[in-house]
Amino acid sequence: MEHDREPRIKRFGVSFGWAALILAVSLFLPSCNKKVKWIDVDPTFSKYIDAYTTGTISKTAAIRIKLATDASTTHAVGEEVKESLFSFSPSVKGKAFWLDARTIEFKPEKWLTPDEMYEVSFKLGKVTNVPSKYADFRFSMKTVKPSFRLTDEGLRSSGVKNKMSLSGDLETADVEDGKQVEKLLTAQQNNSNLTISWQHNDVSKIHHFTIENIERLKSVSNIDLRWDGKPMNMDVKGDRQLAIPAQGDFKVLNVMAVNEAQQYASVQFSDMIENGQVLDGLISVSGQSDISYTISGSEVKVFGNGKLDGNYTVNVNAGIKNSWGDLLDKGFAANINFENRMPSVKIHGKGNILPNSGRLVLPFEAINLNAVDISIIKIFENNVPQFLQENSLGGNTELRRVGKPIVQKTLRLDDDKTLDLRKKQHFSLDIDKFLKTEQGAIYRVTIGFRPEYSLYLSSDTTAKADDDSEEDYYSDNERSSVDDDDEFWNRYDTYYPFGYNWERRDDPTSKSYYNKDRWATRNIIASNIGLTAKRGNDNSMLVAVSNILTTEPMSGVELEVRDYQQTIISTSKSGSDGFATVDLKRKPFLLIARKGNERGYLKLDDGSSLALSRFDVSGEEVKNGIKGFIFGERGVWRPGDTMYLNFIVEDKEGKLPKDHPVEFSLFTPQGQLYKHTVQSDAPDGFYLFKTNTDASAPTGNWLAKIKVGGASFEKRIKVETVMPNRLKINIDFGKDAVLGEGNPNTGAINAKWLFGAPGKNLKAKIDASLYSRGTVFPKFAGFDFDNPTADYSTQTKTIYDGTLDAEGNGTLKTDFQLDETAPGMLSANLVVKVFEPGGSFSIDNVSMPYSPYSSYVGMKLPDGQQPFDFLLAGKNHTMQIVNVDSKGNLLSGSAEVEVQFYRIQWRWWWDDNSDNLSNFTQDQYNKLLKTEKVKLSNGRGSWTFGTSEDEWGRYLILVKDPKSGHITGTAFYIDTPYWQSREGNDDQSAASMLSFTSNKEKYNVGDEIALTIPSSKGGRVLVSIENGSKVIKSFWQETVQGQTKVKFRAEASMAPNVYATVSLLQPHSQTINDLPIRMYGSIPLFVEDKNTLLTPVLNIANSIRPEQNVSFTVSEKTGKEMTYVVAIVDEGLLDLTRFKTPNPHDAFYAREALGVKSFDMFDYVIGAWGGDLERILTIGGDNEASGGKQKTANRFKPVVKFLGPFHLNKNQTQKQFFTLPSYIGSVRAMVIAAHNGSYGATEKAIAVKK
């Protein structure tokens, strides 16, 4: 550890004129002289004085003053100053001398008093012309507090058998008398004093000691080191006991990391080690494959193959030989840590909001530095919205437009001489008075350093760095300034040393290392205001305001919402519960909160919302609070056919005025507008758009688009040259059948005419196409069952080509011989054609799972580090393995699988080869690291793997089931933990996801919903019940230790589902549970409201005749009011697409996607963290059940009758009539009904016979 050899010189300049910062805790040392206070120097003196001695100095130091210009008096170099220019309090006797034309040095007659604060007065007006008010220059200085620290190098064999020695250093904080230092340390062995020899270096303040002739006795003995600073008035005292091995006991004494210019692991033995022996395999270091050794007496130095940083395990194996031929008979293992000793600074933790619980300080750490430069830029409160247009709270874009430097200062870190600054040391920066001056402002604090502050550099390099002028180091200092801050911004934006060499930017012995890229910066705002916002897609927003320190709701907080152009959208105040509701007329960008002098800011743009992609929030999207359902009478139309397209709109929020226009547009497959119409009146929101295409219209997927109230709804319309099926086809492999290996491969086909007769002796053909699909078993969510190194292309084969029997039956076999290795489960799509005697055919499609393997192996990696989902290097990880059959059932008994562990490049390559593993190219980029057999019991097992800390990169694990041949695998990333903060409370592996549960899977209106939330005492949960468009209800509840129960009732407004989104807030000071200040999560709650169900009753004959008037009645089972339509359609048309009767209830009460975006600022709070999940847009979903699997045929005037809409009053039964054309077969009569948020449908198959 190096200490000052010269008095501390304080330079005036741009940094002088600002109020002093103090380093809190470990840097601010109170004076022993209570009468002398530290003097804040008027910055105007910088015009007359260039530098002066100040800060903490050695008691042997002289005091210097360097003038800004040559002195007005005539003198010679070295001449004693005759006049009395200096005065001291307490008094100091001595003489002053001229060192040059500008510099005066005062030399005290004797050493200054240790640990003393001095006030110095210098009569400036006697040596240069200054105004009278500056004639007397007063400043302060302080001498070093006496102290020392002791280090030893460990026991060493002295070269003589049964003799050992111990050496070390006693380092004093200031220059001390060597004879007095020797009184501080004593050593004894078995109560007998040992002789200590000394070597003193007063300049470096290092006093080296050696204890020779330590005897190794027949049994283990001890030496006792004791040190006491009392003889020199130092408040340091301690002792240490070292065990001396017995005679003949050859062992490892210690292993330690040595961080010198060349790093190595020092392995210390009890005996001298024989030179020349080969130690390969006898000593190893984890993660180091190429190591070298140096034997030095009883020490072996082990060198790695590069820079060592972090934790390592050193293994010393038996077999090492000492100088007397004895072999080490017992191995030894030790964990050591190589701490990064490169000069650096780091601001602790993360975040930008500093809660105001007293004095505001910013903690930081420094390594190998004796000083730092501090600058603070103030972003003014009225400029904060402009700043946030381009930045987050922690951003740094376009600072000059919105901010101004207010502090530039150098702070010494070596005032406390007991600190070993070569190691990581923690400090705190007192920024209290700046943050409290204008609390709504943002303060950007920068902590930088220069070469002359480095303790890493050699003395030669340091001297060279000191020779460089300030003008050289700041290459832009000579340029003209356009304003007072121009020089600062030039240096701030382009802080690189003169002669910067990019190739040496990582070399701490080069000045190129000391550039702005190594500065630590943090934006700070002082505030206790915690903000949470919930923005629905219906333009409503709920704001919840809480106190960051206590979690209590804050009332009376003024809330202002602005858009991106900084125009105010709305203003409001939080109520007694901390809530405020805002109606957003435009898209919001920023929420500003004000209470007293405190301010809070929360960005509301979509990219700033809390990520919910890891939660189950998918479903149908609700658009602007409006729902809509489009349906037709069938699934496919022929060019020229009339289309009966219906639209039902649901507007529970009452956003649409009466007779609001609804626009209908029909687009061709090429995207051209084909038809457009507008309707403005419909009973119960039931719109019928009767339209058609031309006979020459193109086939394909047309698009029906309906716009209403700012929301739009779409439906694909299939137009094909089809003919209706005349035969009913049925394929049966049994319930829940899976085709393929280990499963029955036989099935049955049956065909009959639509009017009921069997398809006697008809020809049938079935083609099966096998497609690759993801292998998923519901019982094993999160497991991977597919082989990522296998590729599969579609195969098509004919599995039946024959004639049905007299009853229309046939037997199927699905015995596929695959041409390629499948990655996992496949889909078998069966295209079934049954031919009529005249050559026409009816067609059907069936899709079924096909298993190419009799069993499957699955694997699941442990959860990765967020937000990037990687595993940590230097740690072991255990993955789960399962072995299941083709239906996902665990296999009983014992089994064995093979695991292969690869290191791979970012992309891999495939070769054309059918062998599973050789498809994956193994070359210098893809290396097989390990192959192991893993035993499974009843289908379950696990495997543990890991890498050293420096082996980060992309990896692949493959697991093979040797019995079935199936392989699964996963590629993943392993990275070092150093990207994360190493703070004890910064364990991001848990992230901020909150897992909680509800008491039931589904609720009826009126049921009690109970949430169980893991919690600690003293916090608070914000519970928000949200649906597809808005927040339905929200409330606070205090938490208890263990589990907090939250209860409320299911309401009709919660159907079909809502999401319970919970934010668990902890008081800022509460760290006992090591959890983030805010955790959040969301779970779906399904609520069924029986009042939303309509049950239409269709009373019609089972068999009717064509070309005759047919009557039927429609009613509602419980007498409810409703509006309905009736469609009677040829079943042969419906079967083409397996068309299901439309049921609006399924659509309107399908699960809704979460339509509320949540925002809060707790991730930005300093001293606590809310682990960041991926910033990915919240996923929605489309769960509409599709009746048809694929296009079925392209080959008549269709039999279609469409009636309505009709309105049915309460307890009413209505009779309707229709007439079918000449037709024999089967039709389906469908009734679709709606009224005031209630929906239903019914259907009936009717035979048509003459």
* 1034-1082 pLDDT per residue, tens: 999 999 988 899 999 999 999 999 999 999 998 887 644 456 788 898 9
Q: Which residues contact 894 (CB under 8 A, 6 or more apart)?
A: 935, 936, 937
Question: SS3 for 569-583, per residue?
Answer: EEEEECCCCCEEEEE
State residue 492's pLDDT score: 61
Helix, coil or strand: residue 482: coil
What is the dotted CATH code of the domain comprising 868-979? 2.60.40.1930
Residue 745 contacts residue 814 (beta carbons within 8 Å): yes
Band (pLDDT 50/70/90 cuts) for residue 73 is confident
pLDDT at 25 over 80: no
Arithmetic mean of pLDDT, 520-540: 92
Q: 121-137: b or e for each residue (b if 16 or more CB lie within 10 Å)?
A: ebebbbbbebeeebeeb
* Dist CA 151 CA 158 (whole Å): 19
Return the domain boundaries, the chain: 30-143, 146-249, 252-340, 366-525, 527-607, 727-839, 868-979, 1092-1154+1183-1248
Residue 844 contacts residue 832 (beta carbons within 8 Å): yes
pTM score of the predicted model: 0.60
- Tell me yes or no: is domain 146-249 CATH 2.60.40.150: yes
Band (pLDDT 50/70/90 cuts) for residue 1088 is very high
State residue 938's pLDDT score: 93
pLDDT at 14 over 80: no
Give the residue carrying structure tokens 């079967």. 1135
State residue 486's pLDDT score: 62
State residue 866's pLDDT score: 54
Cis upstream peptide for 1014 (omega within 30°): no
* Dist CA 179 CA 171 (whole Å): 14
Arithmetic mean of pLDDT, 1100-1123: 95
Q: Which residues contact 816 (CB under 8 A, 6 or more apart)?
A: 740, 768, 770, 795, 797, 850, 852
User: Mind listing the pLDDT tens digit for each residue in 381-415?
Assistant: 999 999 999 899 988 888 888 888 888 888 888 87
State residue 407's pLDDT score: 84
State residue 1072's pLDDT score: 42
pLDDT at 482 over 50: no
Lowest mean pLDDT of 694-698, 736-740, 990-994, 1058-1062, name the range.
Answer: 990-994
* Dist CA 1086 CA 106 (whole Å): 85
What is the dotted CATH code of the domain comprising 30-143? 2.60.40.3710
CA dihedral in degrees (793, 798, 799, 802; nearest 10)? 170
- Tell me yes or no: is domain 252-340 CATH 2.60.40.3710: yes
Sheet holding 686-692, edge to edge: 627-631, 642-650, 686-692
* Dist CA 873 CA 975 (whole Å): 5
State residue 262's pLDDT score: 75
User: Mind listing the pLDDT tens digit for each residue in 202-215?
Assistant: 776 889 999 998 99
Beta strands in 654-761, from DSSP E residues, in sequence order: 662-667, 673-679, 686-692, 700-708, 711-719, 727-732, 739-740, 746-753
Give the residue carrying structure tokens 């509460």. 1070
Q: Give the residue from 352, 364, 345, 514 showing the smallest Cα distance to 21.
A: 364
User: Mind listing the pLDDT tens digit for each residue in 949-971?
Assistant: 767 778 899 999 999 999 999 98
* Dist CA 573 CA 529 (whole Å): 13
State residue 498's pLDDT score: 60
- Widest distance between CA atoms in the chain: 138
pLDDT at 905 over 80: no
Q: Is 312 left (phi over 0), alpha (psi -120 to 50) or beta?
A: beta
Helix or strand run (H / E) with residue 774 = none
Arithmetic mean of pLDDT, 829-840: 84
pLDDT at 248 over 60: yes
Share of the chain above pLDDT 70, in %: 86
Share of the chain above pLDDT 90, in %: 42
Q: How far is CA 495 from the centre of its chain?
A: 31
pLDDT at 495 over 60: no
Distances (CA, A) of 848 to 85, 507, 692, 1033: 102, 64, 36, 44
State residue 205's pLDDT score: 84
State residue 1239's pLDDT score: 96
Arithmetic mean of pLDDT, 205-233: 91
> What is the CATH class of 1092-1154+1183-1248?
mainly beta
**Cβ neighbourhood burial of 916 (10 Å; 0-12, 13-18, 19+):** middle
Q: Which residues contact 864 (CB under 8 A, 6 or more apart)?
A: 870, 871, 972, 973
Q: What is the DSSP letter of 467?
A: H
State residue 1113's pLDDT score: 97
Beta bridge partners of 285: 288, 314
* Dist CA 97 CA 110 (whole Å): 16
* Dist CA 609 CA 1157 (whole Å): 6
Distances (CA, A) of 455 to 5, 366, 452, 509: 14, 11, 8, 10
Distances (CA, A) of 782 to 775, 785, 880, 1178: 11, 10, 10, 20
Band (pLDDT 50/70/90 cuts) for residue 909 is very low
* Dist CA 169 CA 196 (whole Å): 12
State residue 1191's pLDDT score: 40
Q: Give the residue from 691, 694, 677 showing the smallest Cα distance to 638.
A: 694
Arithmetic mean of pLDDT, 86-102: 92
DSSP per residue, 1154-1171? P-EEEEE-GGGBTTS---
Lowest mean pLDDT of 10-19, 267-276, 864-873, name the range.
Answer: 10-19
Beta bridge partners of 948: none
Comparing 1228 with 1186, which gets the higher pLDDT? 1228
The two structure tokens encoding residue 1156: 């509320």
The two structure tokens encoding residue 20: 């002093």
Return the number of other C-beta atoms located less than 10 Å from residue 160's C-beta: 11
Q: What is the DSSP letter of 919?
A: G
Q: Let me know if the fold of 146-249 is the same as that of 868-979.
A: yes
State residue 745's pLDDT score: 75
pLDDT at 235 over 90: no
Q: Which residues contact 802 (CB under 8 A, 6 or more apart)?
A: 763, 764, 810
* Dist CA 1170 CA 1077 (whole Å): 6
Distances (CA, A) of 702 to 233, 308, 637, 651: 95, 65, 10, 27
pLDDT at 3 over 60: no
Give the best-scoring range by mean pLDDT among 98-102, 278-282, 703-707.
703-707
Cis upstream peptide for 1056 (omega within 30°): yes
User: Mind listing the pLDDT tens digit for each residue in 166-201?
Assistant: 999 998 888 899 999 999 999 999 888 999 999 998
Averaged pLDDT score across all residues of the chain: 83
Return the number of other C-beta atoms located less than 10 Å from residue 1018's C-beta: 16
Comparing 426 with 483, which gets the higher pLDDT? 426
The two structure tokens encoding residue 192: 């007998």
Q: Which residues contact 659 (CB under 8 A, 6 or more apart)?
A: 680, 681
Distances (CA, A) of 724 to 216, 400, 737, 847, 1129: 104, 73, 29, 21, 11
Give the residue carrying structure tokens 């005996």. 271
The two structure tokens encoding residue 1093: 């169900």
* Dist CA 232 CA 352 (whole Å): 46
* Dist CA 1234 CA 603 (whole Å): 42
Q: Which residues contact 982 (CB under 8 A, 6 or more apart)?
A: none
pLDDT at 982 over 70: no
User: Mind listing the pLDDT tens digit for each residue in 1160-1174?
Assistant: 999 888 864 333 332
Helix, coil or strand: residue 608: helix
Arithmetic mean of pLDDT, 284-299: 86
pLDDT at 356 over 80: no
Return the number of other C-beta atoms located less than 10 Å from residue 401's C-beta: 11
Phi and psi (nearest 5°) for 747?
A: -150, -175
Helix, coil or strand: residue 786: coil
Q: What is the fold of 527-607?
A: Immunoglobulin-like (2.60.40)
* Dist CA 627 CA 1092 (whole Å): 15
Helix, coil or strand: residue 875: coil
pLDDT at 979 over 80: no
The pairing of strands 894-904 and 953-960 is: antiparallel
Helix, coil or strand: residue 166: strand
Lowest mean pLDDT of 61-70, 688-697, 728-737, 1138-1147, name the range.
Answer: 728-737
